[in-house]
Structure 1
Amino acid sequence: MNMNRIFSLLCLSFLILFTPAFAQMDVKKSLVAKNVELVKVGDGYGFTEGPAVDREGNIFFTDQPNNKIYQWKFGTGEIIEFTDASGRANGLYFTREGDLLACADMDNQLWSFDKEGKSKVLIESFKGNKLNGPNDLWVNPRGGIYLTDPLYERKYWERDPAMQQDGNHLYYLGSDGFQFFRVDENLVKPNGIVGSPDGTKLYVADIGAKKTYVYDIEEDGYLTNRQVFVEMGSDGMTIDNRGNLYLTGDGVTIFNNKGDKIGHIPVDEKWTANVCFGAGDRKTLFITASEAVYTLQMKVRGVW
């Protein structure tokens, strides 16, 4: 090997070692705003999850071990407590009417909060048995709710920790609030979930199978044509206006709408649980990661 070749390799190694991690990826120039870095905007929580954006662009997120939901105000950067009785909420999502839906894991239910923080139970069982532990959800443009229900045993449960249903399934609650049925009974451990802006595609991460699936959504809420989108599971997920899918776990991994990996955003925490877009222009990527929450300014925008 000649000296010029050796020198080039040494220079490349130096760049890899001393360049900020997320700047190494082509995601920085194609998706991330210019000259920005990941910013920690809050810490000291038990475990953060479930970010959801309201109509104005504020982000609500959960601290599940401490039974709380917080609100991040994008205009000021302030984080305030929304409720200290969240039902041990995990995933969150806003309805078109502005109510906050919560996967209330304390009693394995689906809750709804009004703007004042008053809660009510929407779903408490399926065929006479409790759910395993509602985890994440997505609301389609017609108002129907898709819900993942994996079993993760919680220390705070007073009930039998055994599986309550006959498996870890994916459910659908119709917009009328009465039709509640399973739409996939062949998943190992469904977790993160999001749909396309036009309501025709549903993405579901099966973290147990280490896969993320894509389905066609029918008008009645049923799903057809399940296919493997990527060979990677995820905790939470979101989608941007270009159709790119953001998966979590080891930081945030981004795939285009064909399933090709186009970038990775490292997060210096034990686990990156969930992600969504917020702020008035929906160009702030908000990340919940273990005991902290982060933001990153993007070129692309969220669609919800």
Structure 2
Amino acid sequence: MTALTTTVLADGLGFPEAPRWHGGRLWFSDFHDRVVRTLGADGGQEVAVELDDSPSGLGWLPDGDLLVVSMVRRALLRVGERGPQLHADVSGSTRFRANDLVVDAAGRAYVSSFGFDLEGGADPEPTALLRVDLDGSVHVAAEDVVFPNGMVLSPDGRRLVVAETYAARLIVFDVAGDGTLSGRRVFAELPGVAPDGICLDAEGQVWVATARSPEVLRVREGGEVTGRVAVGSGSLSYACALGGADGRSLFVCTAPSWRPGRRAGRIEVARVDVGSA
């Protein structure tokens, strides 16, 4: 297959993560800068939210309020007219940093976390995937997940795909009407890959940021790699989102490393054949 390449839409960022296309703009967390930014198709940036902690996963509630993962605090913040307010404290159900999230149509948020001291060099340990209901109550959605990271819901809300970064695979759950998960199984084994942020296209295939390599993979259920996008020289891919006016712009968050350092984070973009789910 022929690998697509990206162009740079924005650079000089701290560490961009958790991209989401919403309201005609790309939203993303810049977690070393402790802000949520938005980006227009012309590359124009705005700061949407300032925090006193590193933000990560983003999603929207049915009333339009933004949910933001507060990583070190291990909480979900609800951002509305009054600014960031505590929506849920997940510190009692997590070890080390909270990470990504995805929100369903009913306002339930599925929340991932590190599960071990990544920054301190500890060995990986399984952790729980959480569900936070609209009332802010916290529930264990699944046990024994190895560094759950990026997540996507199918358009009908009946399937949840989760990247297990340190297990080198994507897994999938069936989602009941009350948000309960069941039927855990492997969506795709990805040997040698550290799947990070993911997004879903209209054919049910998943774009996977690879964290340790300079590319994004398009993966069919079962594990076949059907597409590749190469990112810019010197960068690794950490998260991705489909968006743009026709849903066919693949936005990729890249940086040389996730650790603090020189300001070399970028938003890169490639045009793909199949639009977003």
TM-score for the superposition, normalised by structure 1: 0.77
Distance in 1, Cα, partners of 2:121 & 2:73: 13
Percent of aligned positions with the same letter in both sequences? 24
Q: Are the aligned partners of 2:76 and 2:90 in contact in 1 as well (CA < 8 Å)?
A: no
CA shift at 1:194, angstroms?
Answer: 0.9
* Conservation of the 8 A alpha-carbon contact between 1:109 and 1:131: no
**Is 2:130 aligned against 1:171?**
yes
Match of 2:21 among 53, 62, 65: 53
The answer to whether 1:147 aligns with 2:125 is: no
Q: 1:148 to 1:257 in 2, by over 3 A?
A: same
Classify the secondary structure of the residue corresponding to 1:97. coil
Q: CA deviation at 1:286?
A: 1.1
Partner Cα distance (1:283, 1:50) in 2: 18
Task: Give the ranges of 4+ consecutive aligned residues of structure 1 lying more than 6 Å apart after TM superposition.
Answer: none
Q: 2:183 aligns with which of 211, 214, 225?
A: 225
Name the SS for the 1:181 alignment partner. strand
Contact 1:217 1:224 in 2 (8 A): yes
| Deviations 1:263-286, CA, capped at 9 Å, x for gaps | 111113432111112223322211
1:23-72 deviations in whole A, cap 9, x for unaligned?
Answer: 824xx5xxxxxxxx511011111211111121x22111111111121110
- In structure 2, what is the equivalent of residue 243 of structure 1? 204
Matched, 1:292 2:266: yes
The alpha-carbon distance between structure 1 residues 119 and 200, as it changes in their structure 2 partners (threshold 3 A), is same
Unaligned runs of 5+ in 1: 1-22, 29-36, 156-160
Question: Residue 6 of structure 2 is aligned with which of 16, 32, 38?
Answer: 38
Q: Report the secondary structure of 2:242's partner residue.
A: strand
More strand, by proportion: 2
CA contact (8 A) 1:150 1:169 kept: no
Q: 1:255 to 1:162 in 2, by over 3 A?
A: closer
**Which of residues 23, 29, 39 in structure 2 aligns to 1:72?**
39
The Cα shift of 1:98 comes to: 2.2
TM-score (normalizing by structure 2): 0.84
- Unaligned stretches of 5+ in structure 2? 256-264
Paired with 1:117 and 1:63, the residues of 2 have a C-alpha distance of 21
CA distance in 1, matches of 2:52, 2:241: 20
Q: Distance between the aligned counterparts of 2:82 and 2:8, measured in 1?
A: 26
Any conservation in 1 of the 2:72–2:98 contact (CA below 8 Å)? no
- Paired position in structure 2 for 1:91: 57
Query: Contact 2:10 / 2:43 at 8 angstroms: preserved in 1?
Result: no
Q: In the alignment, what sits opposite 2:219?
A: 255
1:182 to 140, 154, 157: 140
Find the structure with the greater CA-based Rg.
Answer: 1
Distance 1:272 1:190, change over 3 A: same
Q: Distance in 2 between matches of 1:247 and 1:217?
A: 21
Q: How big is the alpha-carbon RMSD for the aligned residues of Structure 1 and Structure 2?
A: 2.5
Tell me the amino acid that sits aligned with residue 148 of structure 2: P
Say whether 1:199 aligns with 2:163: no
CA pair 151-136 structure 1, distance change in 2 beyond 3 A: same
The answer to whether residue 2 in structure 2 is matched with residue 24 in structure 1 is: yes
Q: Match for residue 87 of structure 2?
A: 122
- 2:94 touches 2:113 (CA, 8 Å); kept in 1? no
Provide, for residues 110-165 of structure 1, a one-character-per-residue CA deviation record: whole Å limited to 9, x for no partner: 11222x681111112354x665322111112222111111146588xxxxx899xx
